Amino acid sequence: MTSSDTIFALSSGGLPSGVAVIRISGPQCFAVLGELCGPVPAPRVAGLRPIRNRNGEQLDTGLALYFPAPASFTGEDCGELQIHGGRAVVASVLRTLSESGLRQAEAGEFTRRAFHNGKLDLIEVEGLSDLIVAETEMQRRLASEHAAGGLSALYESWAKRLTHARAMIEAELDFADEDDVPGSVADTIWKDMDTLRQEIAKHAEGTGIGEIIRDGLKIVIAGKPNAGKSSLLNYLTKRDVAIVTDIPGTTRDVITVDLDLNGFAVRFYDTAGIRDTDEPVEREGIRRARLAMNDANLVLLLGDEPETDWDVLRSGHTGPVIRVGTKADLRHTEWLDDLPDVMISTRTGEGIDELLSRIRGHLPHLSGAGALALPSRQRHRLCLEEVADAIGHALGSHALGLDIQAEYLRLSAVALGRITGATDVENLLDVIFSEFCIGK
């Protein structure tokens, strides 16, 4: 992959379609547009043009657009052809572009060029990737915030404060003998650095909320065999995604289903019934059920009889739990002691609304203009913790001298730069851009 290549790709998704959009980026863009379409339209103005192959045969009629560098998505000369979305039409235009010396783009290559040309930073790139695959309103809002640079702006303000602090320290180190640089000028910045460290630490705590919005709230449905776990999953999804029988041990593996609840992605996990068994496949299913519970944000413990031992069903899980009594239409009056948190029936729908209301109580609460300026990846959290730790070392190193303190602040700035891609991220790029589709 070289930036001197001119690349092309179908960017509008599956065929056939009403309209297909083909993107072009690179130094040969203007010449190739002229070769296919005749006179190239004025920059950023759509022009209706015949699309011809190298032999002059008309392939289609469509809109052509030209975006000269640097005012384009990739920062290079870019073009678009908006043509009819028939398979044969698109294939003939793509073949003509290839015969003209252009190269088929790799996954994420348009966005990667935008990153290398300074049009997007790494957080904006990740936000764009998340925006493409967003399925719920909250996922869209979080991704839009990142793609639009909201989170990057916050980190840029922190980087400026670190730069100012380092400049004050350097001034005292290098010009302490000058009359216009008073002694201990660096003392004025340490209060701000302590405040900054606290801001970053508090911000990093929001990673869990960001991950829930981006990846979904993980809810595991657990309980004894035949307690109604699969029936609940089928009721919530309004379709038969799990097999329901009266035979204990029917569910052997973990089944996952994604739902949209109040704009948040919620992922339900139906698990094997928890009991003592010598059957090896069922034992493996129970082991996986317990692992799923350990990773869950919330566990629904299901029991269908008054003698349910909720502590046994927890299997050591210490996180949030909702105890659900099932088959309320059959056993409604039998629960006397140690009542469940909610009683439900998947036959009549009784208690389901109350259960969903309790689940909503575990969704993130967001308020304020910057509510979605949240870190949403483990990578973000680790870098933020490194930034806060380095500032903490700088604050605790007064006895070692200003030069050591300045070095710690430099390390904190480097760690902050890794989040946006300003420093030392080459090893991450292949992983990040591989998540993109062809043509983006």
Tokens of 240: 């038969």
User: Looking at the structure, do residues 64 and 17 belong to the same domain, yes or no?
Assistant: yes
Same domain as 260, residue 201: no
Is there a domain that residue 356 lies in? yes
**Residue 379 pLDDT:** 92
DSSP one-letter code for 400: G
Q: For residues 182 and 122, what is the distance between their CA atoms, to the nearest angstrom?
A: 40
The structure tokens listed for 298 are 């919330």
What pLDDT digit, counting tens, does each position of 100-117 carry?
A: 999 999 988 999 999 999
Tell me what pLDDT residue 178 has: 53
Domain termination site, one of 59, 77, 109: 109
Residue at 438 is within a domain? no
Same domain, 26 and 76: yes
pLDDT at 119 over 90: yes
Higher pLDDT, 51 or 222: 51
Question: 233 and 327: one domain?
Answer: yes
- Structural domain count of the chain: 3
**Angle between helix 29-37 and 87-99 (nearest 10):** 130
* Structural domain includes residue 117: no
- Choose from 1-15, 16-30, 126-140 the range with maximum mean pLDDT: 16-30
Question: Cα separation of 44 and 415, whole Å?
Answer: 39
Same domain, 27 and 100: yes
Tokens 């806060």 belong to which residue?
388
- Where does a domain end: 318, 337, 360? 360
- Judged by phi (left if over 0) then psi (alpha if -120 to 50, else beta), residue 421 lies in left
Task: Tell me what pLDDT residue 19 has.
Answer: 95
117 residue type, one letter: N
Asked if residue 153 is part of any domain, the answer here is: yes
The yes-or-no verdict on residue 252 having pLDDT over 50 is no
User: Do 388 and 341 share a structural domain?
Assistant: no
Q: How confident is the model at residue 242 (pLDDT cuts 50, 70, 90)?
A: very low
Q: Are 106 and 94 in contact (CB under 8 A)?
A: no
Phi and psi at residue 305, to the nearest 5°: -145, 150
Residue 302 lies in a domain: yes
Do residue 197 and residue 239 come from a single domain?
Answer: no
Confidence of residue 45 (pLDDT cuts 50, 70, 90): very high
Domain-located, residue 427: no
User: What's residue 299's pLDDT?
Assistant: 92
> Tell me, what CATH number does 42's domain have?
3.30.1360.120
Regarding whether 404 and 296 lie in a shared domain, the answer is no
Q: Are residues 406 and 318 in the same domain?
A: no
Cβ partners under 8 Å of residue 389, min gap 6: none
Instruction: Say whether both 147 and 282 belong to one domain.
Output: no
Q: What is the tens place of the pLDDT at every residue in 292-305? A: 888 889 999 998 88
Give the end of a domain, one of 333, 360, 387.
Answer: 360
Amino acid type, 374: L
Rg, Å, the chain Cα set: 29
Residue of 301, 281, 117, 115 lying closest to 220 (CA atoms): 301
pLDDT of res. 125:
93
pLDDT surpasses 90 at 284 = no
335-389 pLDDT, tens per residue?
A: 656 678 898 888 888 899 999 999 999 988 876 555 788 999 999 999 999 999 9
- For residue 296, the SS3 value is coil
Does 440 fall in a domain? Answer: no
Q: What is the pLDDT of residue 286?
A: 76
Query: Residue 427: what pLDDT?
Result: 56
The residues near 383 (Cβ < 8 Å, ≥ 6 apart) are 415, 416, 418, 419
Q: What is the sign of the dihedral through the CA atoms of 394, 395, 396 and 402?
A: positive
Residue 165: give its domain's CATH number: 1.20.120.430
Report the percent of the chain where pLDDT is more than 90. Answer: 52
> What average pLDDT does the chain have?
85
353 shares a domain with 297: yes
- Give the pLDDT band (50/70/90) at residue 144: very high
Same domain, residue pair 42 and 95: yes
Residue-wise pLDDT for 307-348, tens only, equals 788 888 887 788 899 999 888 877 655 665 667 889 888 888
Nearest-angstrom CA–CA distance, 75 and 113: 7
pLDDT for 430 equals 66
Query: Is a pLDDT exceeding 80 seen at residue 65?
Result: yes
Phi, psi of 221 (to 5 degrees): -95, 115
Rounded Cα–Cα distance for residues 169 and 164 (Å): 9
Hey, what's the torsion of the CAs at 385, 390, 394, 400, to 10 degrees? 140
- In this prediction, residues 68-79 reach a mean pLDDT of 96
> Residue 367: its pLDDT value, please?
61
**Domain hosting residue 398, numbered range:** 124-206+374-421
155-164: per-residue pLDDT in tens?
999 999 998 8
The DSSP call for residue 168 is H
The pLDDT, as a whole number, for residue 308 is: 80
